[in-house]
Amino acid sequence: MTLQDITQSTTQVVTSAVQINALNSQKLANFYQNTIGLTLISKSKGFYKLGTPDHKVLLELFPNASNKKERTTGLYHMAFLLPNKNELGTILQSFIDKQIPLQGAANHGYSNAIYLADPEGNGIEIYYDKKQTEWDIRATGHIVGVTEPMDIDYVLEGANPTFDGLPIGTTMGHIHLHVSDLDETLNFYRQILGLGLKYPLGKQAYFLASSNYHHHLGINIWQGHNLPAPNINTCGLRASVWSANQIDYQTIQTKLKEFDVEYKEGDNTLTFEDNSGLTVIIEKKS
């Protein structure tokens, strides 16, 4: 197998949504509506679905979680992808006006991004992609990322005068996970979901994607090797949700059987655990 083979994906699956176990789902839902700008789609008995004004679900909150007792595998951050630079400038100006504390702002070469955390410590990235002609795409298929200071003035120059929430066209661009072992996780997501390795950041983090995207999945061992999996109702990541066309859905189901991965099939969904004990849900596009 060549290096180029490893970078290429065999499916077109993409990240769709994130499910979070919340200590206080109402408080968290209020934060995601009032600060992040998600639209409330539904709520029932402490369970919330939030997303964009056209009712595309990006985040699901589940109530009555328990506190973490140790470091585990789980969410590093979820990443909301905006349609363009002006939208990032608009929400950044809103954060500045409201004095929302940020964890950072970075130019990654292929994107500009800002980082923060919700009230329960779940990491959030909000970003837009630059034109693909600006990406550093190598002959091998690698898409090289960098971490440099973001030009804040450049991003703010196109900001809209008011922030009216995350717009239609916003998606869950990628998710980034703390995992137990980098290479085992790479093999799992290559074999089962068909993702390609787009960029290895040494032996600390890998970035994987389908098609020609820079990454739909980031994985790292920054919290340590061989971390245990969280308990099923521990606060934080409950599941990552991916969208697949009918062919890819069937391919993933075949791979789950081939590699003896236990799964449950629901109404156009496949649910299983990855090698780090984190739940993955595959939804078939209608």
Domain range annotation of the chain:
3-284
| Cα dihedral 111/117/123/124 (nearest 10) | -40
In the chain, how long is the greatest CA-to-CA distance?
Answer: 54
For 165-196, write each residue's pLDDT tens digit: 999 999 999 999 999 999 999 999 999 999 99
In CATH, the number for domain 3-284 is 3.10.180.10
For 47-68, write each residue's pLDDT tens digit: 999 999 999 999 999 999 999 8
Inter-residue contact 205 to 218 (CB < 8 Å):
yes
Token couple for 98 = 């409201």
For 8-50, write each residue's pLDDT tens digit: 999 999 999 999 999 999 999 999 999 999 999 999 999 999 9
What gap in Å lies between CA 143 and CA 9, rounded to an integer?
Answer: 13
Question: For the whole model, what pTM was predicted?
Answer: 0.97
Residues constituting the chain:
286
For 143-159, write each residue's pLDDT tens digit: 999 999 999 999 999 89
What gap in Å lies between CA 186 and CA 10, rounded to an integer?
Answer: 14
